[in-house]
Amino acid sequence: MSAATWDLLIGALLILMALSGTLLRALPVSAAALYLLIGLAVGPGGLGLLQLDLASDAHFIEHVTEGAVLVSLFAVGLRLRIRRQLSSWLLPASLATMGMVLTVAMMTAAGLALHWSLAGALLLAAILAPTDPVLASDVQVRHENDADELRFALTAEGGLNDGAAFPLVLLALGLLGTHTLGAAGLRWLALDVVWAIAGGMALGWTCGAAFTRLTLYLQTSKRQALGMESFLALGLIALTYGVALHASVYGFLAVFFAGLGMRNVQAAAVAQVEDAMDANRRVKAPLTNAEVKARAETAGAITREVLDFAKELEKFVELGAMLVIGFLLRPAMFTGRNLLLAALLLAVARPVAVYLATRGRQWTAGQRRLGAWFGIRGVGSVYYLAYASAHGAAGPELEETAGVVLVTIAVSVLLHGASAAPLMRLYRSTRKRRAEP
């Protein structure tokens, strides 16, 4: 494709991205679905203007989707309101662990029923297990003070399970002989499960909290107007992820918890300022309310700037990631078997897993139905597919896995993208009517 054609395509896509919010408002299609269809049209499955293949371009696809997931996970962590009660996190944790394991078990059984090997069936199930934080904007929390339990749980689940799926992918690769599991799987259990998960969470929280405390110290105590918060955000993501890789912990979890750590420090700073204002009202203190308010504004400014930048960056990574998925799709992949497995995941495995994982939790029947439906699959699954290909998985079963994964993502993007906005509008209006006296 010539440079002039590239210029036309990129320019048209960027303009479309800017106008998509207005253009697609009245249409039953999401921006992600539109990008995917464009990728399919110009890729090998359509006009063939750009060639992209999983086997030969696995490392490139892995890096593109890796960056997309990292940016989205960081933004998701920043969006979430830090809840002090441990019970508030039990539901998303249950969805990201018990729900994911149940989903993997059911999809592995489906693969075995279709005469795949245990390793191949487990790899397929592990790749499809995580829900997507990039494409779930319509069902995510709308701001840091959003107290809705459904949106909080789905948002936190998407942030947690992209990293929590890694041990299962590595287990499948171990069964294929491309990853070391150790005697009786003890090395996998100790390093790939316990250490990598716990270390990723602790490392990410520490990096996010330390970064934010340092920034607030420079801005408030040293009167340093740093500016360029976008570069600080990119630096924090890259630094956290790099340290995580060197420490052999899960970088996805680390980056997500870095966002949570940043939000926690900001929320704690604001709470301290509010306490100081209350104290000033009770006693005559040298610190005026105007000064306290200025400190509160400074404390929240860095997080708002970083989050705004992350939201803008999310739009670019969504565009790039969905184009890559479209480039990888082929019309021949839409076979009866692939569509059946996609239907099993979205209409059977996901609902059953959600209903079992949320049993006894504080969800209404309507919230449980929406949670069961919104198991959006997307960029994270493509990352794990490319990761498996780049780390030794090969052969006919991987090609079959690629077809199932890409078809499932396409179906999910189209169905969930079309239904997310109207269903969430209905959900909000129903909740509002019930709250009215």
Residue type, 363: W
Q: What angle do CA 384, 101, 62 make, to 5 degrees?
A: 5
Q: What angle do CA 228, 234, 240 make, to 5 degrees?
A: 135
Say if CB 202 and CB 261 are below 8 A apart.
Answer: no
For the chain, the domain total comes to 1
Looking at residue 164, its pLDDT comes to 87
Determine the Cα–Cα distance for residues 354 and 28; give it in Å rounded to an integer.
26
Looking at residue 389, its pLDDT comes to 93
Say if CB 367 and CB 149 are below 8 A apart.
Answer: yes
Residue listed under structure tokens 């947690």: 160
Looking at residue 297, its pLDDT comes to 62
Determine the Cα–Cα distance for residues 407 and 376; give it in Å rounded to an integer.
13
The verdict on residue 387 lying in a domain is: yes
Determine the Cα–Cα distance for residues 271 and 276; give it in Å rounded to an integer.
9
The verdict on residue 296 lying in a domain is: yes
Cα 149 off chain centre by: 18
Q: Is 292 helix (H, G, I), strand (E, B) or coil?
A: helix
Determine the Cα–Cα distance for residues 246 and 21; give it in Å rounded to an integer.
40
Looking at residue 13, its pLDDT comes to 78
Determine the Cα–Cα distance for residues 274 and 203; give it in Å rounded to an integer.
29
The verdict on residue 278 lying in a domain is: yes
CB atoms within 10 A of CB 425: 11
Instruction: Please report, in tens digits, the pLDDT of each residue of the chain (437 residues total).
Output: 566 666 777 787 778 777 766 666 666 677 888 889 888 988 888 888 788 888 889 999 999 999 999 998 998 888 887 666 667 788 889 999 999 999 999 999 999 999 999 999 999 999 999 998 766 667 777 666 677 888 888 888 988 988 889 999 999 999 999 999 999 899 999 999 999 999 999 999 999 999 888 877 777 665 555 556 677 788 889 999 999 999 999 999 999 999 999 888 777 766 666 666 666 666 555 555 555 555 556 556 667 777 777 778 888 888 888 899 999 999 999 999 999 999 999 999 999 999 999 887 778 888 899 999 998 888 999 999 999 999 988 888 899 999 999 999 999 999 988 888 888 888 888 877 766 54
Determine the Cα–Cα distance for residues 362 and 209; give it in Å rounded to an integer.
30
What dihedral angle (degrees, nearest 10) is formed by the CA atoms of 221, 242, 140, 228?
A: 40
The verdict on residue 101 lying in a domain is: yes
Strands of 69-183, DSSP E: none
Q: What helix, strand, coil percent values describe the chain, rounded to 5? A: 75, 0, 25
CATH number at residue 263: 1.20.1530.20
Domain holding 43, by residue range, is: 29-435
Determine the Cα–Cα distance for residues 198 and 201; give it in Å rounded to an integer.
5
Determine the Cα–Cα distance for residues 34 and 39; give it in Å rounded to an integer.
9
Strands of 334-389, DSSP E: none
Looking at residue 401, its pLDDT comes to 94
Say if CB 180 and CB 392 are below 8 A apart.
Answer: no
The verdict on residue 129 lying in a domain is: yes
CA distances from residue 36 to 79, 81, 320 in whole angstroms, order as listed = 26, 31, 10
Determine the Cα–Cα distance for residues 146 and 144; give it in Å rounded to an integer.
6
The verdict on residue 74 lying in a domain is: yes
Looking at residue 350, its pLDDT comes to 95
The verdict on residue 209 lying in a domain is: yes
Tokens of 238: 């890259």
34 half-sphere exposure, CB direction, 13 A CA radius: 17
CA distances from residue 377 to 126, 127, 181, 424 in whole angstroms, order as listed = 12, 10, 28, 18
Say if CB 205 and CB 261 are below 8 A apart.
Answer: yes
Determine the Cα–Cα distance for residues 179 and 111; give it in Å rounded to an integer.
21
Residue listed under structure tokens 């006693």: 283
The verdict on residue 171 lying in a domain is: yes
Say if CB 198 and CB 204 are below 8 A apart.
Answer: no
